[in-house]
Amino acid sequence: MNSQEFTLSGSVRPQSIDELAPSLSLLKEAIDRVRGVLYLNVRRLAQMNNVAFHAFSRIIVDACRMRPDLKFVVVTSSVVGWTTRKFSRLSKIEPNITVEEYDSAFYPGQSFLEEGGFIPILRTQTKMTWRHERSILERHGMRPGISMADICCGIGDFAMLVQKEFEPARIVALDHSRSSLAYARKVAEEFDVRGIEYTYGDASEMLLDDDQFDLVTCRHSLQIFNRPDLILKELLRICKPGGRVYITNEKNSHCLGEPRAESIQWTYNEVAKLFEHFEMDVELGPKSRRYLAEAGFEDIRVEQFMVTNLDGDPNDFADVISAWEDVYAGDMAAKRGDSPEFVKRFRQGFRDHIYAALHPKGYAGWPIWAASGRKPS
């Protein structure tokens, strides 16, 4: 067994088949070497005309017919939807050709957090964290007139706050959730917010050019991907040399409250374990420096701030915790198969956190790490 991968990316639009001779020769060599599966990776294939499609298809189909032992897997992405539709034709011709849309399962737990019912709480969370981040951002590369990308932008509220407060020359806001982007565009239109380019895309394989943004932000997102290193690699790629990448992440086991601290502490320790079950790491915050260093950044800056019930209306804090309870002790716990006894105790910790937030002498906190690194010149 000797599987191989052959990758096509960018724009492949030849006027004649002769222009493809070097690429077709490489594909034939890969087929000759493979014993098992040949993966044809077209995740970043932005354009392909019929001349190119038929030339590559002919070689693949002929190889299947000459070597029944050989299997082809065409790896596409939902971000470039036409590739899945176009290459699926081959699987109808030859049973040894299959098409896999790799990002359909890339974010194993994100569906719990990205759909419409969670939108109101995402807005409240941003409102609470913005009080802190507004001053922090200037120490991490934010300034008027820059070109900025907000990756994993969610419902787009952070990008709108930045646009209003700092007036960058350009903001590209990208996310993998169509429903979140639809909401972001709707709100931007209603409030006549201009200058933000909302775009659908996969943060681990973006169709954005290299070296084009002065500042790239990615907030509360690395912690819900099972391969944060892939995301950071892409953030580094699209950042200009000398520009900065800014990330925020949490450490949920450090959420705290008084009174009823013990119950609260137990529940948030269990939150970390729950997310780990779904291949997410809500303990990532303090690891930010290591992740940035390993990705190749320099001049790494790390700050930690605590969002509390004293940041404005304590009912906002309580609303956030209530939403966490609904999702974490609801859909996620059910999906993991937790017992009714566990769920009852799990829910109690959230409710005690709300109690601490609303108590006239109480204190409740949610810790966040903000970090950034400079792309080497």
| Total domain count, the chain | 2
Looking at the fold, whether 98 and 119 belong to one and the same domain comes out as no
Looking at the fold, whether 97 and 182 belong to one and the same domain comes out as no
| Token couple for 229 | 């290193």
Looking at the fold, whether 180 and 207 belong to one and the same domain comes out as yes
Looking at the fold, whether 309 and 332 belong to one and the same domain comes out as yes
Looking at the fold, whether 349 and 261 belong to one and the same domain comes out as yes
| Token couple for 195 | 């200058």
Conformational region of residue 252, where left means phi above 0, alpha means psi within -120 to 50, and beta covers everything else: alpha
CB count within 10 Å of CB 43 equals 21
| Token couple for 178 | 């169509």
Could you tell me where the beta strands, DSSP code E, fall in the chain? 4-12, 37-48, 71-76, 97-101, 147-151, 170-175, 196-200, 213-219, 239-250, 256-258, 298-308, 363-374
pLDDT given for residue 117 in this prediction: 54
Looking at the fold, whether 92 and 199 belong to one and the same domain comes out as no
Looking at the fold, whether 21 and 71 belong to one and the same domain comes out as yes
Q: 59, 77, 104 — which closes off a domain?
A: 104
Q: 86, 104, 122 — which closes off a domain?
A: 104
pLDDT given for residue 105 in this prediction: 47
| Cis status of the peptide bond prior to 68, with omega within 30 of 0 | no
Looking at the fold, whether 222 and 91 belong to one and the same domain comes out as no
Q: What pTM value is reported for the model? A: 0.75
pLDDT given for residue 360 in this prediction: 96
**How far is it, in rounded angstroms, from Cα 97 to Cα 75?**
11
Looking at the fold, whether 272 and 331 belong to one and the same domain comes out as yes
pLDDT given for residue 314 in this prediction: 94
Looking at the fold, whether 20 and 144 belong to one and the same domain comes out as no
Looking at the fold, whether 292 and 308 belong to one and the same domain comes out as yes
Q: 85, 104, 123 — which closes off a domain?
A: 104
pLDDT given for residue 108 in this prediction: 46
Q: Tens digit of pLDDT per residue, the chain (377 long)?
A: 677 889 888 788 888 889 999 999 999 999 998 888 999 888 777 778 888 888 999 999 999 889 988 999 998 876 666 778 888 888 888 889 998 876 554 444 455 555 445 667 788 899 899 999 999 999 999 999 999 999 999 999 999 999 999 999 999 999 988 888 988 898 888 878 888 999 998 898 898 999 999 999 999 999 998 889 999 999 999 999 999 999 999 999 999 999 999 999 999 999 999 999 999 999 999 999 999 999 999 999 999 999 999 998 999 999 899 989 988 999 899 989 999 999 999 999 999 999 999 999 999 999 999 999 999 99
Query: Any idea which residue has 């917010």 for tokens?
Result: 193
Q: Report yes or no: 128 and 308 within 8 Å, Cβ to Cβ.
A: no
Q: List the domain range (segments joined by +) for residue 8.
A: 4-104
CATH number of the domain where residue 10 is located: 3.30.750
CATH number of the domain where residue 127 is located: 3.40.50.150
Query: Any idea which residue has 């011709």 for tokens?
Result: 93
**How far is it, in rounded angstroms, from Cα 106 to Cα 102?**
7
**How far is it, in rounded angstroms, from Cα 32 to Cα 246?**
45
- CA dihedral sign, ordered 203, 197, 43, 81: positive
Looking at the fold, whether 116 and 51 belong to one and the same domain comes out as no
Full DSSP string of 262-317: HHHHHHHHHHHHHHHHTT--TT-GGGHHHHHHHHT-EEEEEEEEEEETTSS-HHHH
Conformational region of residue 30, where left means phi above 0, alpha means psi within -120 to 50, and beta covers everything else: alpha
**How far is it, in rounded angstroms, from Cα 217 to Cα 173?**
9
